[in-house]
Amino acid sequence: MGNSKEEIAKLKEAVNIEDVIGTYVELEYKLGGKCLGLCPFHDDSTPSMHVHTEKQIFKCFACNEGGDVIAFISKIKSCTFAEAVNLLRQEWCNGSTPPPQHIERREKAKAQKPPATPAQLAAMEASNVKFMRSMYGHHPALARIHEVKLDDHSWMDGNKYHPDCADITQAYVDFEVSQAGGTVPSAFKAMRGRIVFPIRDENNRLVAFAGRTTQTITDENRSYTPKYVNSQTSDLYNKSRTLYGLHLAGEPIRTETFAFLTEGYKDTLAMVAAGFKNTVAQCGAAFTDDQAELLKRYTKRVAVLMDADDRGREIAAAAIVVLHRHGMQTSELLLPPGEDPDSLFRRIGKRAFRSIVAESQLTGHLQALKESTGVDLANMCMEGSGNSELIRMNGEEMTDPLYDPEANGEEGNNESFSVRDPSECRSTPS
Ligand SMILES: [Zn+2]
């Protein structure tokens, strides 16, 4: 057997990294599928090595050692890549695979764990609060530090800021976004140095964190630098039952009578900064039935606004299926190709961003109307002869898509919401 790309891929598919590492290191399974162990490559006292079972990679958050199953073997056996490949083939691919005892252990741990008591839940939240207080920028008084940290472009994948972006900083302060320092409690080691988005449930309990790397993800570091590190699932936090931002969006959703649903944390913050405070984000790759039921307590109408790429369209389509299953009305909003709310806001500034969202809302509502009734009002409306009162979905009147949530505020006026050619709004490169 050779070592061509295909053959290596085949080998990696055939062996399970947890099984291999599990023969060298005692692995501990946490609820939610997270897998931890003492790192064999440095003097480790708290489990610092994470085994990512989905991606089939390992990573030590203390000594930075990481990689795939072949990297693990060549490191621990001090052997070459080819030798590691041979060893894996001999020991793991000829039918003599040792029984995966850890799977039994994991199942046992799951079955035996009683639900947390209220006191335990309070202790878990207290530990989260303590971590949050340890971070830079957790307090509004530190907004200036915040601004400096968060305006550092390096973690934004090279996105340049438009001058009309100041409100993003305020949204980051309101949502308590911080940066973890170099020294953090051991339970939060994985968050070290990351931009941290605290996640609150609808009752404002601090249930989890999502930490985004400040590094630009490249092909080289992709396998061992996860873009986001998330709190594990616990009795306090279940991402499939949580909507990011709902603790602040609840009232605005009721007032506006609909919600925007976005893909990520940064997208929600961009929307809020633009004045669309009735925005939440799904906390995982898929919108769930539990999230639909949660949202339904606030509204039955959802404007789905995912990234304008293939994956975003898929995520949106899947979310819409779930929302319809729960009897909710939807419209899908489309941004210019390749953009997400965060990138677009930063590139073109608040005013232009608001126009595009409004325009997209109109298009989305008309599309939904066309699909449900066959009536095509798009041309009429786009030519200016349309009347927003005519826009109804399933026989019910929709919120005026050009309604300006800040009409009474200093920022807003209807003029800023007029549909403009997006190209007019682009910032000129400096
Ligand atoms: Zn290590």
CATH number at residue 206: 3.90.980
- If asked whether residues 251 and 219 sit together in one domain, one would say no
d(CA 263, CA 304): 9
Quote the ligand 1 centre to 187 CA distance (angstroms). 15
d(CA 40, CA 73): 11
The residue from 77, 112, 147 where one domain ends is 112
The residue from 237, 267, 294 where one domain ends is 237
Whether residue 365 is contained in a domain is answered as yes
Q: What single DSSP character describes residue 421? A: -
d(CA 110, CA 234): 11
Query: Measured between alpha carbons, how far is residue 279 from residues 13, 206, 246, 303 in Å?
Result: 40, 19, 8, 9
- If asked whether residues 156 and 264 sit together in one domain, one would say no
Instruction: Evaluate whether 211 touches 195 at the Cβ level (below 8 Å).
Output: yes
Quote the ligand 1 centre to 40 CA distance (angstroms). 6
Quote the ligand 1 centre to 181 CA distance (angstroms). 19
Q: Which residue has the higher pLDDT, 13 or 275?
A: 275
Whether residue 398 is contained in a domain is answered as yes
- If asked whether residues 203 and 162 sit together in one domain, one would say yes
- If asked whether residues 231 and 313 sit together in one domain, one would say no
- If asked whether residues 170 and 263 sit together in one domain, one would say no
Considering 127-136, 202-211, 331-340, the range whose residues carry the highest mean pLDDT is 202-211
- If asked whether residues 233 and 245 sit together in one domain, one would say no
The residue from 112, 127, 156 where one domain ends is 112
Neighbours of ion ligand 1 (CB under 5 A): 39, 41-42, 60, 62-63
Quote the ligand 1 centre to 257 CA distance (angstroms). 51
| pLDDT reported for residue 225 | 74
Mean pLDDT of the chain: 77
Instruction: Evaluate whether 20 touches 92 at the Cβ level (below 8 Å).
Output: yes
Quote the ligand 1 centre to 61 CA distance (angstroms). 7
d(CA 271, CA 258): 14
- If asked whether residues 294 and 223 sit together in one domain, one would say no
Quote the ligand 1 centre to 238 CA distance (angstroms). 28
Instruction: Evaluate whether 384 touches 399 at the Cβ level (below 8 Å).
Output: no
Whether residue 128 is contained in a domain is answered as yes
Instruction: Evaluate whether 267 touches 245 at the Cβ level (below 8 Å).
Output: no
Give the containing element (helix H, strand E) for 400.
Answer: none
Quote the ligand 1 centre to 64 CA distance (angstroms). 6
Residue 35 identity (one-letter amino acid)? C
Whether residue 430 is contained in a domain is answered as no
Quote the ligand 1 centre to 18 CA distance (angstroms). 16
Residue bearing tokens 């140095």: 193
CATH number at residue 287: 3.40.1360.10
Please compute the mean of the pLDDT values over residues 160-184 and round it to a whole number. 78
Helix, strand, or coil here: 284?
coil
CATH number at residue 87: 3.90.580.10
What would the DSSP string read from start to end of 93-126?
Answer: SSS-PPP-HHHHHHHHHHHH-PPPPHHHHHHHHH
ipTM of the complex: 0.96
- If asked whether residues 56 and 181 sit together in one domain, one would say no
Residue 375 binned pLDDT confidence (cut-offs 50, 70, 90): low
Range of the domain at 363: 241-425
- If asked whether residues 410 and 282 sit together in one domain, one would say yes
Give per-residue pLDDT as tens, 304-319.
Answer: 999 999 999 999 999 9
- If asked whether residues 19 and 160 sit together in one domain, one would say no
- If asked whether residues 101 and 220 sit together in one domain, one would say no
Instruction: Evaluate whether 39 touches 116 at the Cβ level (below 8 Å).
Output: no
Closest CA to 404 of 341, 357, 364, 363: 357
End-to-end Cα, the chain, rounded Å: 55
| pLDDT reported for residue 274 | 92
- If asked whether residues 69 and 138 sit together in one domain, one would say no
Per the structure, how many domains does the chain have? 3
